[in-house]
Structure 1
Amino acid sequence: MPEAILEPDLPIIDPHHHLWDRPAAFIAGLPPPKHGFDHLIRKVPRYLLDELLADLNSGHNVIGTVYMECGAMYRAGGEAAFRPVGETEFVNGVAAMTASGLYGPVRACAGIVGHVDLTIGAKAREVLEAHIAAGGGRFRGIRQSASFDSDPDVLGPLARQNEGLYRWGAFREGFAQLAPLGLSFDAWLLEPQLPELLSLAKAFPGTQIVLDHVGTPLGIGRYAGQRDERFAAWTRCIQDLAALPNVAVKVGGLAMVFPGFPSFMSDPPAQSEQLAEEWLPYVEICLKAFGVDRCMFESNFPVDSGSCDYATLWNAFKRVAAGYSADEKAALFAGTARKIYRLDI
């Protein structure tokens, strides 16, 4: 049975979700699944406005969202550097649909985080300006993943990046274009790579950086069975990042395959009590280090559907935040996202 919704009136701004469409021909051409993400692609081949609205209207008081890039709807032609602008064009159309009010009060994709390959250096400014023009006032920044591990079983089909991206000179030349345009940067990388982000954040103190998915602690591949012993090193990295005022953190992504929690793809699916118990140590460290004004809960849907449905995920966050004050909850569930992504919701 579906869980009863906890604190159903608490306003939520979901600062991290995706939209995509993987046609049947694309799915049919995939190799046999070997990794959690392989299974997810097959489980959720389509996640567009109808699917998003079904989740947003599943019982919690979600008032708005921020879209996070995922390689969807790139332009098929034109200069390669500008093809990701197609994703912003697509998402801005979805945002305009919900801004019409025809789908209820929720304002989906009120903020848009797109993608630019910053390794093109100073030319990245032209691409950023194209995103801004395409975003209808909603474009807020970019994400470029640096996720890398020498063990291909850790990232599976997401093992697409070379090592040390955030330290490359060309990348940093492109990164320098963000702050003058008032844009932020979402960072996705794995727990052993967190010192790379620390170096980047120190080098660009004027750029707002958001660490996605609490830094992605690992418990699969060559890290299987080591999650607990790696917790202290992860904690130190989080504390070091929190010492920099230009860094905020998204508290979520723990329902993905990477931490190796028992809840991932469990049968039957985990309930919110189990999820809260698994996630609590990581949530507590982030909240203590960053404070509620630089932490925001995120759904990471539909990716996190590998462990639970949307309503159960937000119940789990409400359980881990049960001891916090009304003002603190207001920040964690909506206020920090509204501030960091400059949302008028």
Structure 2
Amino acid sequence: MKSIHEKNGLDAASGGITLIDAHHHLWNLDTHHYPWLKNYDPDSFLGDYTSLMQNYLPEDYAQDSSGHRILATVHCEADHDYSDEVAETRWVHQQAERYGFPNAVVPHIWFHQDNSEEILLGHLKFPLVRGIRSKPVTAPSPDQVARVQGVSGSMQDDKWLSGFSLLEKYHLSWDLRVPFWHLEEAAEVAKAFPDTRIVLNHMGFPWDRSENGLAIWRKGMQALADCPNVLVKVSELGLKDRPWTVECNRSVVLETTELFGMDRCMFASNFPVAGLKISYDQLVNNLAEILDGYSSSQREAFFWRNAKAFYRIEL
């Protein structure tokens, strides 16, 4: 199996880890509109992300990931202009035709809007589409969750749930992205749709590492782990107020792998966003260090086999 670097005539990593990257982004700001990359939000959970406000193309990803043997990648929607959602999917497929990656694509639709199925069918004209990421309405903090429950676009909204049912109809998965104080609600959706495959993005964002914050996160993670149709991406562990270190993230990573089992966890870089806190090479090496106690077959499942199966990637 050739790596993406070999396919593009680049030097293949002599060492490093063989992997499939289950979550990264590409964007061309010269030709497409990404509102968050044009209008800086000082209140973003990312902190200062001005360095992201430039093109991130396949060549950039290949350079960042060159220390490891990347068999395939999954492109996840990057908050492209939602008035023309299919444009991002079209552009990503053009990159795949030229560079041999991404090898699976997760675009966006709004589940609660009247044109959900129309937009979905537009995405499905492109062969690499494997799932959908649609972010439900969420509260800005744990103490405000009740205020958004049941509103339009929330996970209790009948219209949102009707749109969500399109995933099962078209044999697609859901990339779930909510902060940790909404994980239990997401588990209720997972239980209501047991035949829809779901993958939690970014470990449910365990941003609050206080005892109380982690208690809320653990409760939600347990609820999702109890749903056999839910997997999890171990990704985006950067915190706004501290660096990415093994010491800081070891416990939340190991709690996640113990809750879900290594057969339901997958590596995802979230580059270039994760690059605000850590290099690609160090990210992979840090996770490998944290998971050193697992067997070689378990680590192989984590780093590439689970993503290959979940996103139906042909190598």
TM-score, normalisation: structure 1: 0.78
1:149 aligns to 2:139 (yes or no) = yes
Q: Post-superposition shift, 1:27?
A: 9.2
Distance 2:220 2:37 in 1: 41
Does the 8 Å CA contact 1:212/1:250 hold for their aligned counterparts? yes
Change (3 A) 1:341 1:31: closer
1:292 aligns to 2:262 (yes or no) = yes
- Name the counterpart of 2:28: 21
Distance 1:147 1:276 in 2: 32
Does the 8 Å CA contact 2:36/2:79 hold for their aligned counterparts? no
Does the 8 Å CA contact 2:138/2:154 hold for their aligned counterparts? no
User: Which one-letter code corresponds to 1:139 in the other structure?
Assistant: V
CA deviation profile, 1:87-134 (whole Å, cap 9, x unmatched) = 1101111111122xxxxxxxx21000000111125x42332221111x
Distance 1:147 1:318 in 2: 34
CA deviation profile, 1:301-337 (whole Å, cap 9, x unmatched) = 1111111111111111111111111100110000110
User: Which one-letter code corresponds to 2:23 in the other structure?
Assistant: H
Does the 8 Å CA contact 1:296/1:332 hold for their aligned counterparts? yes
Q: Post-superposition shift, 1:148?
A: 2.9
1:252 aligns to 2:235 (yes or no) = yes
Report 1:8-157 matches (<5 A).
8-22=15-29, 30=39, 33-35=42-44, 37=46, 39-57=48-66, 59-72=67-80, 80=83, 83-99=84-100, 108-120=101-113, 123-133=115-125, 135=126, 137-146=127-136, 148-150=138-140
- Root-mean-square deviation (CA, aligned residues, Å) is 2.8
Does the 8 Å CA contact 1:44/1:302 hold for their aligned counterparts? no
Does the 8 Å CA contact 1:16/1:68 hold for their aligned counterparts? yes
User: Which one-letter code corresponds to 1:204 in the other structure?
Assistant: F
What secondary structure, in the 3-state scheme, does the structure 2 residue paired with 1:234 have?
Answer: helix
- Name the counterpart of 2:145: none
TM-score, normalisation: structure 2: 0.85
Distance 1:48 1:127 in 2: 25
Distance 1:98 1:10 in 2: 21
Structure 1 residue runs without a partner (length 5+): 1-5, 75-79, 100-107, 152-161, 220-225, 264-269
User: Which one-letter code corresponds to 1:209 in the other structure?
Assistant: I
Change (3 A) 1:89 1:304: same
Q: Post-superposition shift, 1:163?
A: 8.1
Q: Post-superposition shift, 1:167?
A: 1.6
1:228 aligns to 2:211 (yes or no) = yes
User: Which one-letter code corresponds to 1:326 in the other structure?
Assistant: S
Distance 2:303 2:37 in 1: 38
Q: Post-superposition shift, 1:293?
A: 1.1
Q: Post-superposition shift, 1:256?
A: 4.8
Match of 1:341 among 300, 305, 311: 311
What secondary structure, in the 3-state scheme, does the structure 1 residue paired with 2:48 have?
Answer: helix
User: Which one-letter code corresponds to 2:247 in the other structure?
Assistant: E
Q: Post-superposition shift, 1:248?
A: 0.5
- Name the counterpart of 1:267: none
Distance 2:273 2:40 in 1: 19
Identity value in percent: 31
CA deviation profile, 1:253-273 (whole Å, cap 9, x unmatched) = 10253xx4x20xxxxxx6xxx
